[in-house]
Amino acid sequence: MKLLQDRIRQDGQVLTETVLKVDTFLNHQVDPMLTMEIGKAFAQKAESAGVTKVLTIEASGIHFAMATAFTLGVPFLYAKKKKAVTLTEDLYTTEVFSFTRQESFQVSVSKRYLNAEDRVLIVDDFLATGDALLGLVEIVRQAGATLVGVGAVVEKSFQDGRAKLEAAGVEIHSLARIRSMSPETGVTFIEETLT
């Protein structure tokens, strides 16, 4: 997605060779126009897949799930993160290791909002090590629902998240795929798009 790639080049801050800061437009201060375009791009990819629910994880996936679900005309659901979940009987839960925080947490979704009839599109802001998205895939599996695919706004293709998701049989659509980055030379994308 050219609009997104241009914005990452313009406003993204490469902190290290593995961490990209995008909090002026994607995940702290948020550009709503760009967010709606991102939602449309995910929705367009999935338009014939009969999606009944868009699933993400709090907090930085929520606005992308909202924009995608709005375009598709379906509800969205965000998994909640907690240090430890005690009462789990009404919940689908799984454990996820956070790349940015370097700690594990529990992710949960109420059984009331996801079931075997659902066709789920998962979206999130970043695909890095893939652990967050794999956690959501596991939640969909626990619900017995059908996973239509995964949409990542930014994929750091030099990390192993895509390989892990592909090994789990998941179809991935990333809007900006970063081949490499460094504070000195900036960001290089895979499949530079012209549109």
Q: Draw the binding track, 166-195, toward ligand 5GP (x: CB under 6 A; -: no contact).
A: ------------------------------
Alpha carbon distances (Å) from 49 to 46, 72, 128, 148, 161: 5, 11, 25, 7, 24
Which pairing describes strands 20-21 and 13-14: parallel, antiparallel, or unpaired? antiparallel
Question: At its nearest, how many Å lie between ligand 5GP and the CB of residue 129?
Answer: 3
Question: At its nearest, how many Å lie between ligand 5GP and the CB of residue 125?
Answer: 5
**Judged by CB under 6 A, does residue 105 bind ligand 5GP?**
no
- Flag whether 130 is marked binding: yes
Pick one of 25, 81, 161, 165: the residue that binds ligand 5GP (CB under 6 A): 161
- Flag whether 6 is marked binding: no
For 192, residues 6+ apart whose C-beta sits below 8 A from its C-beta are 5
Q: Which backbone phi and psi does 154 adopt, to 5 degrees?
A: -120, 125
Torsion sign, CA atoms 99, 150, 162, 109: positive
The distance between the two most distant Cα atoms of the chain, rounded to a whole number of Å, is 50
Q: Draw the binding track, 6-25, toward ligand 5GP (x: CB under 6 A; -: no contact).
A: -------------xxxx---
Size of the site for ligand 5GP (CB under 6 A): 19
Binding site for ligand 5GP (CB under 6 A): 19-22, 27, 60, 99-100, 124-133, 161
